[in-house]
Amino acid sequence: MTPVTKSRVAVSYARWSTVRQAEGSTEERQLELAREYAARHGLKLDERSYVDAGLSGYKGRNLQPGAALHSLVEAIKENRIPRDAVILVESQDRLSRLDPLTALDSFRSILSLGVSVVTLQDNKVWTKASLTGENFGDLVLSL
């Protein structure tokens, strides 16, 4: 895992599965974690938040066109979000709850764009190098 350097853009991604969760503090909790991390690490938090409300990670709906995660990935591909941006997410399971091999492939495709992904619950920074380095085992276990 690579440390996050200052002056980079950070983008928040949040997801939850049920309407009941939306009625609670789920969104605010996830966004507050992102704000705190960005402030602590001198990152410029992009005003855009990508939120998939009520989309199951088990079925991968957040990866399909029309979903916020899909839109986030497309924005990176189209250089509307810098390739060295930091994606802030509460935990790995916010990105995917698919089977581990499929989740790994999705995660790999995001990291291959050049962005870093920070999982805020454990403060781990994931980069393309994480896919080949000694931290690869940690990545697989986190899925």
Q: What is the pLDDT of residues 47-65, one digit of tens each?
A: 888 999 877 767 777 888 9
Q: Which of 7, 12, 17, 56 is catalytic?
A: 17
Over the stretch 66-125, which tens digit does the pLDDT of each residue have? 999 999 999 999 999 999 999 999 988 888 767 777 778 888 999 999 999 999 999 999
2 located within any domain: no
**Full-model pTM:** 0.84
Decide if 109 is catalytic. no
Residue 3 has pLDDT above 60, yes or no: no
Cβ atoms 101, 129 nearer than 8 A: no
Length, in residues, of the chain: 143
Mean pLDDT of 25-50: 92
- How many structural domains comprise the chain? 1
Distance separating alpha carbons of residues 10 and 8, to the nearest angstrom: 6
95 located within any domain: yes
Domain interval for residue 117: 9-142
